[in-house]
Structure 1
Amino acid sequence: MSEAESVPPQRAPLFLLSFRQRNELATTVAAAGWRSVAARRADEAERRFAASGAAVALVDARGVLAEGLAATQALGEVVAERGAALLVLVSRGDAGRIGDFYSAGATHFLSSPMRAVELVQALRFAERHVERLGGWEARAGANAEPLGWRWDPQLRSLQITPALAQLAELPEQPGRRGFLRQLPRRERKLVHSALRRLGADTPATAFAHDLPGVGRLVHHLQYDARTRRVHALVEPLGAAPDAGAAVRDAFEGVRDATAARRWLDQRIGESQTLTAILIALERFEDVNAAHGRSAGDALLRAVARRIDEAVRSTVGKNALVARLGGPEFLVATAPGSGTLLRSCIETAFTRPFVAGGAVTPLEPRIACTESEPDDSAATLLRRLTETIAERAAGPEAPALDRLAGDIARAIADGEVAIVFQPQVAIATGAIAGAEALARWQHPELGAIDPETLFAAAERAELGRALSEHVQQRALAEAADWPVSLASLRLSINVTASDVSRPDFADRLLGRIDASGFPRGRMTIEVTESSIMEELGEAARLLAELRTAGCRVAIDDFGTGYSSLAYLKALPLDVLKIDKKLSQDIAGSPRDRVVVRGVIDMARSLGLTVVAEGVETEQQLELLAKEGCQYYQGYLCAEPLDAAALARLVEERG
């Protein structure tokens, strides 16, 4: 008999607080028959526990002893007052601290590593403890009423709790239509999409939306396999954050990328000629590696101030100074002073900066151009970026002009091939998905790296054509995967040019459907640079993809400052840690703290974490300890063709 069959329906849910392993614990207890109110943050834990109606609180203090003890102290009083139980999980090496947790209010303990059956039995003992004390319901009374709802697919009925009815100003049983009518049409789709995702293989999911007069609400959904009902806990978060404001506050006096593009488009549209200068910092990631991300962010602010001072002293206030993302800055002004302005900026960098208490010289790459009559902000910036890239490539790299002339033929002749890099579940070692990557084998120049491939396509104004070609080939090959790969997810990348199209979501979904590959196994990967030009439009498009059943991932996370702020404002499912950041974890203790912070932040936002570029067992072990769920990199395999991927999956069982 399975755990789910042997556990009777619970009179009260389980309150679960885990700082790093919430999803894994929630899945385990859901499989055993519990409905859980799962949290990653300890903020107002006692209030949330009381509101959840739970009889047992589970605090996971493994690897976060101080945070776990503080949470236990916060919960201890309400647990004792209401005759509840509090089970604490600790690492085996911390078993000596159990007395501290007992003094703080814990009633039961379990040390890790443990098997799922041991956790289930510990929870049952905790419930029996509650029964012996007289039961939670008699003591909790009305205070155990949660914000939530329940959907019964057999009766096609939706019931909401009195607390949620009061919050939404609805009758307690408004019916399905009455509840959904409170939401905009687009956000109603989120509800239906979330319900479709749930099932025996996916017992829990979530979606978020804005409710007029209330603010941001997150619905945590859990599927009951026994009754086929869906139970939802609703968490009010308040107003959605203004990510752009967060970036602007960090770089006072310097515009962000969105504002810069608007400034450029406005003046070009007024037929003004502009001189534009792009400044890119070389080896900035070395600063992050040596001194940590906070020191890197402080350094970027110092660079912004120094550039701003050089510009103001040269041309006054009639100029644009902006940070575009990562270590890149833009200056634009009227023509005639470009040479002098560039010289002043170069002079500003002759003085070293200070990062992490150490003197740090910075060498910028600088490109300068004048706008043309048919330019837009996008084409002007692309020209600057290509100039920077050519100088960085060096004299031995194939000239972009030569490669650009070959792109159309390469696409037509099938020279651009698809390979798949496996994505591995750290907990089990099973291959769970694969990312599709482009490879160009030039008949004369040999292998061309992906960055050069896409730069050449942009130079030939074939960026969208190349992106669509890669997506179509990846989907076609994945649709023909053998049975051994039938459960794998497919990740495909989209570019800034893709996202900028108003019909992007419809075109991509049409391409997926035409291939026959199921939407439910698709992950769409976007980089920070592809969504920062117009955040609101990007958020709308990504929400469409999620509503349609796809997952959305932000790729190369850790390469830019602004990504921290934008994470909260975008509808995402997955965060992919940049290769450099993944490999930093095996560096200094400070490096590990940075990676830990990124993983904790992502998981607190409900995002799945995938580490890219993992090459050593040490990196994998450290990432696993910090709560990373998936990895890809040469430790498992290099990018493979479909046949080699199938063989690898079969070999790994």
Structure 2
Amino acid sequence: MFILSFRQRDELAALAGGAGWQVVAARRAAGLERRFLASGSAVVVLDARGALDEGLASARTLGGTIEANGGAMLALVSRGDHEALGALYEAGATHFLSSPFGETEFIQALRYAARHAERMAGEWRTTGVAEPLGWRFDLATRTMLMTPAFARLLGTDEQPGRAALLRRIDPTERRAALAALRRLSQARPTTAFAHDVPGIGRVVQHLHFDGTTRRIDTIVEVLGSAPEPTAELREALAGARDAGSARRWISRRLREEDAEPLHAMLVALNRFDMVNTAYGRSAGDTLLRGALKRIEDAVRDVLGRGALVSRLSGSSFLVAARAPRARIKLAAERIAGEMARPFVAGDAIAVLGCRIGVAQGESDDDAAALLRRASEALADARESDSATLRVAEARGDEAPIDSLAVALHHAIERGEIDILFQPQVSVSSGAIVGVEALARWEHAMLGTIGAETLFAAAARADLEIALSDHIQRITLERAAAWPAALRGLRLSLNLTAADIARPGFTDLFLDRVDSSGFARTRLTLEITENGLIEDLGVAAALLSALRTAGCRIAIDDFGTGYSSLAYLKALPLDYLKIDKKLAQDITGTPRDRVVVRGVIDMARSLGLTVIAEGVETNEQLELLAKEGCQLYQGFLCSEAVTSGALVGLVA
């Protein structure tokens, strides 16, 4: 069972765990779709009590995925929020429970939701992973048993000594692990703690205590990646105008012999919720009917009448067809083009766009497995900065990111990771006043690989910290050796969430800066708003120490995630960098410009210097200047360049 509760995660997890469910619980919505898919859960408990807006947004995020995979969503609401039940139902909730409620009512509601999921999915069985990550500890015999995959990752036996796991947890995080173990009891059978594990990265250990058997069973959930599920999954979703008949259609086609492979495509509209809120439900319904008609027309033109098109809950659609991969991609591109064309919503024009995930059926697939891979591909597309389409890799095939992860360690050793500098320009004077350091990997086969893919490969290889250290070291060395013409420039250097979570990082980093000879006072440290910062209090203390030491702090990619305002309130900031998509929207509709103006006004009211990223045209720059933006970077001035080319630009 997957639980998302913004305020009472532990209490709900304890109630569900006490009733026998294995629980994966979350308090934040960051990475929600991926975490739900990774949990393998059939039932989601979405606690919207006291957090209705966050609850609605989360329901919309998960609604299509839950319906595609045949699950259930139990929404918990405050008694005063009954008017939101319709919106939650439209978003994908299948069951509701209103507070105040007791333990008995909650457990009964869980059983109803599980029964619904069972009816939707058929009989459950384990699919996906043969080797989950986890362990069991028997309190009676004082023995531990690890799953083979977890034992291999830790480099230990499957039956290690009882302290084997604790020894592999950093001493600064061991206290949290011990505290979690002490919390387990008959009254509180479920809890969790997060930490780093060598060979895996950042994980959450979800502990469940069985008072009858006196055993602790634990699922290890890997954060920031897409691990396979460790709980039981549905065996069969049963294809085509609604989700249930769509799944049955897919199940039948998978059993048929055919020369062409079956593909499933999930299409999710962008920005639909904003249109629905701005223009009302009637306009939103009209827009969805228009989107379905465009998808049907595109599919019929490219794939013929044998393809299936179905609307799922919310603003998600399913397309399934037997066709070659190239033809499926052509259909996806056609759909993306149709969704990019403006829609009429009431008296206004709405521009939406979409993200698409595609998966190909395999010989041993059922509908659940195929739709799950399509959901994971869609989640990848949604998390991407620019990709509209993602195609899931076939099982057993090494994904490109995996092959990069294997080669990354050697790339660091061989010095293939290089640094370029993108100028930051004063809007008022046109002078280059600073640069942002950007990592590039010159791959022998794939050419230049940018920072996003580079750090994704590092996360997969558990080399995030090693890569970050390498980039910081060579960047500071390069900047310290700049000629006199560049010695007035500020240097912006990115810190990762893993850096911020490292014990003793402040002293380590400042020693690195001082050893390089680069002045602390010319250094700006950027944290990305997309990066998951586990503890804002810890992050604020670390960044305050770095700021006191002379560095300046910037929040990067502002406007792309859900934590913007929390970061602004909690962290000691000097600069706010507007994400390139938001900055480029200033030449869009009047509403777009109002949003950008609001961000700039808010930042300046807080005393922050505003930097716009991704500026490519004079029109964008002129409008940003009128709204009060002080600095910009982007192709209008220059792409990222070497130190030598930077000298020429400054001159």
Query: Could you state the TM-score of these two structures normalised by the residue count of structure 2?
Result: 0.48
Greater radius of gyration (CA): 1
TM-score by length of 1: 0.48
